[in-house]
Amino acid sequence: MKPAAVNVVFQSESFRDHEQVVFVRDKATGLRAIIAIHDSTLGPAMGGTRMWPYETEAAALRDALRLSHGMTYKSAMAGLDLGGGKAVIIGDARKDKTPELLTAYASYVDRLCGHFITGEDVGMTVADMDLMAKVTPHIRGTSSGHVGDPSPHTALGVFRGIEAAVRHKLGRNGLGGLKVCIQGLGNVGMALAELLHAAGAVLVVADIREGAVEQARERFGATSIAADVAHTAEVDVFAPCALGGGLNGRTIPEMRASIVAGSANNQLESEGDGELLRARQILYAPDYVINAGGVISIVHDTDGFSFEAMRGDVVRIGETLSEIFERASREGVATSIIADRMAEERLASA
Ligand code: NAD
């Protein structure tokens, strides 16, 4: 009898020529993790580790592969000499994250000998990085560095990206009176809310954590919208800062914003969704370009650290986005396609 075909990894649509995918299992701690290394043309693969209670292993693998692929493009567009990688730990960070589990995970990162460098992502904290850094040197974003939590730098990049999008789409400088809906008030979303509020923007917010929404109401005079319909908010800018996949064939036709610019990774559920946004004349700031502030800050976190140099590179995200918007308008194609092309041009010339 012919063995059944196994199409879960190499032939999955998310695989996209990954160099290496490591499946980690540590029986003693219950650890199940996937480390995906997409491309190391430009340097060692860098990408955060996410802890999330995926419903299926296939969903965890898909997330790791898509995020890792995005990191290759993110580093290429940010001009960094880094490749793309990402890891996911399957589990609920609030219940399953133990020091033993993190220590075991870090030992597997160590076995990759610097081919994969990691830091925080959803479900992980600076304290977790501190613990893992005791096991392996290939950890970034610890409290002993100059940078610590990268989220405020990610938020600054998104803020500058929103400014660039508003200039291109609405022909105006400054964000005073601009209506922005932030979906997800976590580390990045809340820091972004603070920057936008200080710039005079009017905020509508959504989160599944009522406490975060309450905080935004009190601190920024924000109004709120239910999390499942946040994409329908009647605003100028929709800023997805929760999880990915929120822009798709169901949500895009319901959107009323003319700009999408937020920090979430993998915002487009599928590649064609970039074109769907363009067809509706919604300007999309490609996720891996606008959210590169965190990885830029981590790369700057060396002995010769300069805050000004780091900030300069984060702020440049706005200029890169303006270039993408102009090229997309000229060539009449989706901004997501132009960003991919620009990243691939850099990879090809490396
Ligand atoms: P976080 O875990 O601190 O925040 C996520 C927030 O989204 C939480 O408040 C959560 O309650 C909320 N949320 C979850 N599901 C939601 C839903 N359906 N509707 C509304 N809110 C929902 O994560 P973060 O570090 O702020 O990152 C946010 C996004 O930005 C993620 O996609 C992450 O991968 C991406 N990102 C983060 C950084 C960084 O520096 N932290 C860098 C690049 C990209």
* Cα 190 to middle of ligand 1, angstroms: 10
Position 14 scores a pLDDT of 86
Best residue among 94, 181, 207 to mutate for probing ligand 1's pocket (most ligand atoms within 8 Å of CB) is: 207
Q: Are residues 238 and 255 in contact, defined by beta-carbon separation less than 8 angstroms?
A: yes
Q: Which CATH architecture has domain 3-133?
A: 3-Layer(aba) Sandwich (3.40)
Residue type, 73: Y
Using a cut of 0.85, tell me whether the model's pTM lies above it.
Answer: yes
Closest ligand 1 atom number to CA of residue 150? 40
Question: What's the confidence (pLDDT) of residue 4?
Answer: 61
CATH placement of domain 151-349: 3.40.50.720
CA distance 134 to 331: 50
Beta-carbon contacts of residue 231 (< 8 Å; ≥ 6 apart): 183, 238, 240, 246, 247, 251, 254, 255
pLDDT at 261 (0 to 100): 98
Nearest CA to ligand 1 atom 19: 227
Protein residue with least CA distance to atom 4, ligand 1 = 186
Structure tokens at 19: 């160099």
Q: What whole-number distance in Å separates Cα of residue 236 and Cα of residue 191?
A: 19
Q: For this structure, is 169 an active site residue?
A: no
CA distance 89 to 35: 9
Predicted local distance difference test score (pLDDT) of residue 302: 85
Q: Find the DSSP H helices in the chain.
A: 57-77, 99-111, 126-133, 151-170, 187-198, 210-220, 273-279, 287-290, 293-300, 307-331, 335-349
C-beta of residue 83 within 8 angstroms of C-beta of residue 36: no
Distance 129 CA to ligand 1 centre (A): 18
CA distances from 311 to 24, 173, 203, 262, 321 (A): 36, 21, 25, 19, 16
Q: How far is the CA of 286 from the centre of ligand 1 (A)?
A: 16
Q: Among the atoms of ligand 1, which is closest to the Cα of residue 295?
A: 42
Q: State the Cα–Cα distance between residues 142 and 126, nearest whole angstrom.
A: 5
Instruction: Give the DSSP H or E segment for 137.
Output: none
DSSP string, 259-319: EE----SS-BSSTTHHHHHHHTT-EE--HHHHTTHHHHHHHH-STT--HHHHHHHHHHHHH
User: Are β-strands 223-224 and 202-206 bridged in parallel, bridged antiparallel, or unpaired?
Assistant: parallel
- Predicted confidence at residue 16, as pLDDT, reads 86
Residues 6 or more apart whose CB falls under 8 angstroms from that of 166 comprise: 172, 175, 178, 236, 237, 259
CA of 186 to the centre of ligand 1 (A): 5
CA angle 280, 284, 285 (to 5 degrees): 170
Tell me which of 2, 27, 74, 86 is the catalytic residue: 86
Q: CA-CA distance, 210 to 226, in Å (whole number)?
A: 10
Q: Report the nearest atom of ligand 1 relative to the CA of 266.
A: 32
DSSP strand pairing (83-90 vs 31-39):
antiparallel
81 Cα–ligand 1 center, Å:
26
Q: Which of 51, 121, 228 to mutate to test the pocket of ligand 1 (most atoms within 8 A of CB)?
A: 121
Would you report the helix, strand and coil content of the chain in percent, each value rounded to 5? 45, 15, 40
Q: Using CA atoms of 243, 240, 184, 46 in order, give the dihedral in degrees to the nearest 10.
A: 50
- The residue whose C-alpha atom lies closest to atom 25 belonging to ligand 1 is 187
How confident is the prediction along the chain (350 residues), in pLDDT tens digits per residue? Answer: 666 656 678 888 888 889 999 999 999 999 999 999 999 999 999 999 999 999 999 999 999 999 999 999 999 999 999 999 999 999 999 999 999 999 999 999 999 999 999 998 889 999 999 999 999 999 998 999 888 888 999 999 999 999 999 999 999 999 999 999 999 999 999 999 999 999 999 999 999 999 999 999 999 999 999 999 999 999 999 999 998 889 999 999 999 999 999 999 999 998 899 999 999 999 999 999 999 999 999 999 888 899 999 999 999 999 999 999 999 999 999 999 999 999 999 999 98
Q: What does the domain layout of the chain look like in residue ranges?
A: 3-133, 151-349
